[in-house]
Amino acid sequence: MIVTNLITTLDGKEVMVDFFTAEVTQNRTIHIIGEINDDTASYICSEIRYLSRNSKEPLTLILNSPGGSISAGMAIYDTLNASGCEVTTVVEGMAASMAAFLATCAATKGRRFCQPNAEIMVHQPLGGVQGQASDISIAADHINSTKRKMTKIFADSVNLEESKIKALTDRDTWLSAEDALKMGFVDHVGDPMDD
């Protein structure tokens, strides 16, 4: 990835930073680009904590991600909820799987954006396991418990019945920006910069 640097003032000193750092410190904008994993979550949760300690001004989360780890995504979700900040989400390109969950469920109602050509994909939790039958059964119970929890959070965020969310997430379901708007997964098609 090519990263462009710029000179800016940070904590009263002129410093050279990359654009992503400038976005975080100056615009309170955090990017999730690529897979959501433990490293990504650790970095993003640290950014959220840093920003929310210094101000309760709104945060913006920009997503272009195929998703990833549920536990890593839930760490981001919980940290955003604990921040005390309003959260705007913007889908650029795509938000699939855990990224779709964050784009839809981590945002403050009315502040969920999807760019016109972006897509959202939802599905049920994925997992792989091997081992003895009892271990496989325990893992299946855990995945089903996670599915129930995420279905409830999605249903509350989208204002759809849990049965509708279950049907949508039974298999990969791709939504255009317009379809995501009609179904309540986002509140606006466009970019908050357009306002």
Q: Which residues contact 60 (CB under 8 A, 6 or more apart)?
A: 27, 28, 29, 30, 87, 88, 89, 90, 192
**Catalytic one of 123, 137, 145, 188:** 123
Rounded Cα distance, 132 and 128, in Å = 13
Asked about 123 being catalytic, the answer comes back as yes
Asked about 97 being catalytic, the answer comes back as yes
CB contact burial 131-140 (16+ within 10 A = b; e otherwise):
eeeeeeeeee
Q: How far is CA 100 from the centre of its chain?
A: 6
- 3-class state of residue 147 by DSSP: helix
Residue in the structure block whose two tokens are 């959220």:
48
Task: Find out whether 87 and 108 touch, Cβ atoms under 8 Å.
Answer: yes
**Catalytic one of 31, 97, 157, 188:** 97
State which H helix or E strand residue 51 sits in: helix 38-54
Which residues carry out catalysis?
97, 123
